[in-house]
Amino acid sequence: MSWDLILWLVSFAFSIALIAVNLYQLICLSDLEFDYINPYDSSSRINGMVIKEFVAQGVLCALYLLTWHWFMFLISAPVTYYHLKLYMERRHLIDVTEIFRLLNGEKKYRYVKLGFYLSLFCIVIFRLVRAAVLAVLTEDDDLRDSGIF
């Protein structure tokens, strides 16, 4: 199996995880908005996912850098930098006492990130299919050149 194919499979899994985490946070905020959940539970659920999302985004960005996929690295680097900046300024967690005041802004922020993750997901799917097709074609050429078929 090609290393490029393995990279895109791992990237596919990370992209799905990032989309799922972001959707979970949006669902928690929507439940809070419609008063299905109290502010403490909502903020603790979201805060539990924020660090995992930041780490997954950072690992994905570092993976693109280490494998010399510059286009994907340059796409994901600004979001990784923004996450790092939020973490260093200690603005990455949602405060229980101010969650209702920040609710609309937090939802918009997560919708923008969801759009980014979905566009990243589309690019990853395209590159995954491309790598799989190239792996199959080169494998067929290797079999034909070896005289087996």
Place 142 in a pLDDT band, splitting at 50, 70 and 90.
Answer: low
Task: Kindly tell me the burial class for residue 89, based on how many C-beta atoms sit within 10 Å of its own C-beta (0-12, 13-18, 19 or more).
Answer: exposed
pLDDT at 149 over 50: no
Domain boundaries, the chain: 3-146
Q: pLDDT tens for residues 82-129?
A: 999 999 999 999 999 999 999 999 999 999 999 999 999 999 999 999
d(C-alpha 9, C-alpha 23), whole Å: 21
Q: What is the mean pLDDT of residues 28-46?
A: 94
Q: pLDDT tens for residues 39-75?
A: 999 999 999 999 999 999 999 999 999 999 999 999 9
